[in-house]
Amino acid sequence: MPTLEYSAILGELEKKIYRPVYFLTGEEPYFIDEIEDYVEEHVLDDSGKEFNQTVLYGKETDVHTVIEYAKRYPMMSNYQVVIIREAQDMKDIKGLEAYVKAPLRSTILVMSYKYKKMDKRTGFVRAIMKNGVFFESRRIYDHKVPSWVSGEVKRRGYEITPKASLLLSEHVGADLSRMKNEIEKALINLRSGSIIDDRVIEENIGISKDYNIFEFQKAIGSKDVLKANRIAGYFAANEKEHPVFLIIGSLNAFFMRVLKCLYLRGKRDQKEIASILGVHSFFVREYQLAARNYNYAKLKKIFDLLYEYDLRSKGVNNASTTYGELLKELVYKILH
């Protein structure tokens, strides 16, 4: 069968559609762990797990042992589960090819082969793809994290506003395991079907809805001098949570999108513009406003400033200027 995506695999498992072999590989451990955990926790009930669930570790097992467990028949159950954790550490895992070619249908064999890739041209992988599931877990790029957050929240039966999704993404980054924990914090006091907005994020996770990088960018884009300086002051007073290199990096990404907006002047399709910018259509108007406030010449100066202040924040040509002073200087020069 063809390779399946993460959501499709979970969808099958939730419907109790089980494959005899799951080979989970790739650089992103989150999706591998989620699939493995679901099989471990939900396929068998507590009494069934005692007799019919086996967890092995790659360094501590071998092909012969895995096959021995996999060929057992379940006791008082339709299925038995065999999980190989850290399968990338197992010697000669391709020696399982003979079993994978004719797996026992009452066994669910899960192999978690993390941080590495397996050559799809091998007979071992071809046999897995024919008789089971071969899943490649790819890392999510930072700009795609907000979409993933929205999808994950929706999968749990809730909704999230674009701004709240961005706030979470900026706060956590592409660490999906940590993101899962933050989402669970946000949902803890909400009824199913509720909407997570920036107020919920502030109350349950502690990310300010008023003093964050997106409000900062919005203030700079609209040339709201008072608000931009007020947020810069907040960042300076909370340097640990808002390190200057992250702020400069975010501003650089913001002004790159503003530059693209200048090229896109005249286009009216908000969805097309949003797709080109790599943002939710909710935010397109903010970038269009900034594009009216900053011309090409000014943007060139801003990119030079961001480069200069990034170096100065790292100690280059900066003997004594503090973090707060650097940030306030940068904001002044951008806005004037």
Would you state the structure tokens that stand for residue 159, as one six-digit string?
């909704």
Say what the pTM is.
0.75
Identity of the residue numbered 188:
I
- The pLDDT of residue 137 is 92
Query: How much is the CA Rg of the chain, to the nearest whole Å?
Result: 25
How far is C-alpha 271 from the geometric centre of its chain's CA atoms? 23
> Which pLDDT value is given to residue 280?
82
> Would you state the pLDDT for residue 335?
94
With a cut of 50, list the residues of the chain below it in pLDDT. 1
Tens of pLDDT, residue by residue over 7-30, are: 899 999 999 999 999 999 999 999
Structural domains of the chain, with CATH: 6-137 (3.40.50.300), 142-205 (1.10.8.60), 213-335 (1.20.272.10)
d(C-alpha 304, C-alpha 213), whole Å: 20
Rounded Cα distance between 69 and 51, Å, is 12
